[in-house]
Structure 1
């Protein structure tokens, strides 16, 4: 196998390890081609498919299939032309997947309402990329993607993948402690709030994190007592810097509106590479939030004081080219 194939394999391995922790499931074959349904428009005979994942939507009786293009780039290869070409190709794949009986036979479950979206997964395998990846996207006009109405493609760049990989590692660390801080996966699910205009229709079934959740600054993992108790745990993974008490007060208020602050719920907020003063800043935010309540001695004040704030230790996942067979 050529060396570049082993480099590409790194993105595949990481994606598999990463998304399984967010309760995504693989479906169908990987690394295969399938026939294009619009050859004159797309100017190709076939489209590639690296892997397809799926999860159930929380706010509708629908399943989402995530058609992925997994890229493993060195620092110098992450440039706008390469990203633009990958996105344009992915958009064509998503457009064809809806029309393709071949794709549906391979990846879609029978008797399920579903939609297909695309995900460009850009992993920096040498770990040296330190630029603003979003600048690579600013030069790409939405019109150039030619997506059908209602279809979406998402992009996870090196920074986002690094963040999600650290969440994965932290969840596993919390489960693996001598006195576990999290129960096993069967007793955990990603939290989707009951919105004013969108009821959470599939609370038990839709336990995975949606793409909208994974690309937001707030990812909430909820756990239940495996012994059947009424207590629950909430782990809030927060990607912002935590530089001001106003920022944290806003976060506390979100938790209150989501009804995650009560006597049976333990809450911990986890950050990565936040401001060096984020811990005392959070403590100030707790105090200021309580002062703003109608009475500092209310139960809510106790729940706010009970929130723990814990910066995470950074990890960086890399793979050995030798272990993957480059030197065979």
Structure 2
């Protein structure tokens, strides 16, 4: 039984490794390590676990984020509000201690950076049968009741979030293996896009290539790349919303225009996931409405760039890990 449980737990670990590598996160320190609790009286434990820790550089500050992960691999019947609340409470205690623990710092933290520690609860449904709204488990959990220090951050990725990110990863891999103009260049020529926000410059444009947790939990993920001998810029927008209304696509187009993606991108492609059946037609109508709203003619430079945006649906894929294969995955 213990061996079976170990293999199931390994599914979440293997998927998180493959998943976050595609978003340019880097693993650091030991996996499955225990370290001393700094507040045993309130936390009620002698040690805390660290399943795995990743890091990436922040685009709008000089900080490096260290993501302390609690990886859960549940069957559909095991995903309950009580289980999620318990796991999230435990994770918040881990983050609270990690921020002040010298032992944790010695295991995971680089000494030459300004660190920012956050927590990630990764809830993977290993049997693929969970079809409920995972957010319902979180609505009854009061943020103020969680033992998380003020200003600290904890994120939760549920089964549907993980399936979305896994499909983005799969699509990127498929495009890298393609040929011709649809091919995506190697990872060295790609980075996730962070615009120059009003009053917030991108302080680490060369180092901050990774997708932050804020991007991974947002309605879309934008990958920027350089292709060809002239290093022409292109943009891939992975779109998570339903695509049911013209207004939501107009909001996306406004984002692309406001942050100069339309100016810089020689190729812009929007790839949607689990959208409404008529989403492609809705996007076309939204593009036409958007051009009209700007008072531009159909022959203007902006209209031509907008009309050239490609809209396609992603091929849906599901990562499936065999317990037998994992049991034979020798170190």
Tell me the TM-score range normalised by the shorter chain: over 0.9
Deviating above 3 A after TM superposition, structure 1's stretches of 4 or more consecutive aligned residues are: none
Aligned partner of 1:274 in structure 2 is 275
Instruction: State whether structure 2 residue 122 is matched by structure 1 residue 99.
Output: no
Aligned partner of 1:198 in structure 2 is 200
Structure 1 unmatched runs, 5+: none
Shift of 1:203: 0.8
What SS does structure 2 have at the residue aligned with 1:323? helix
Aligned partner of 2:86 in structure 1 is 85
Aligned partner of 1:252 in structure 2 is 253
For 1:1-328, list aligned pairs within 5 A: 2-179=3-180, 181-225=183-227, 227=229, 229-262=230-263, 264-296=265-297, 297-325=299-327
Contact 1:230 1:264 in 2 (8 A): no
What SS does structure 1 have at the residue aligned with 2:160? helix
Q: CA RMSD in A?
A: 1.4
Shift of 1:134: 0.5
Superposed CA offset, 1:146-169 (max 9, x none) = 211110100000000000000000
Structure 2 unmatched runs, 5+: none
The count of residues paired between Structure 1 and Structure 2 equals 326
What SS does structure 1 have at the residue aligned with 2:327? coil
1: CA distance between counterparts of 2:179 and 2:201? 38
Residues 263 and 234 (structure 1), Cα distance of their counterparts in 2 relative to 1, 3 Å cut: closer
Contact 1:66 1:119 in 2 (8 A): yes
**TM superposition score normalised by structure 2:** 0.96
Shift of 1:292: 2.2
Contact 1:32 1:50 in 2 (8 A): yes
Shift of 1:263: 6.6
Superposed CA offset, 1:50-94 (max 9, x none) = 000000000000100000000000000000111011001000000
Superposed CA offset, 1:185-227 (max 9, x none) = 0000000111002111111100000000000001000001253
What SS does structure 2 have at the residue aligned with 1:234? strand
What SS does structure 2 have at the residue aligned with 1:324? helix
2: CA distance between counterparts of 1:137 and 1:263? 40
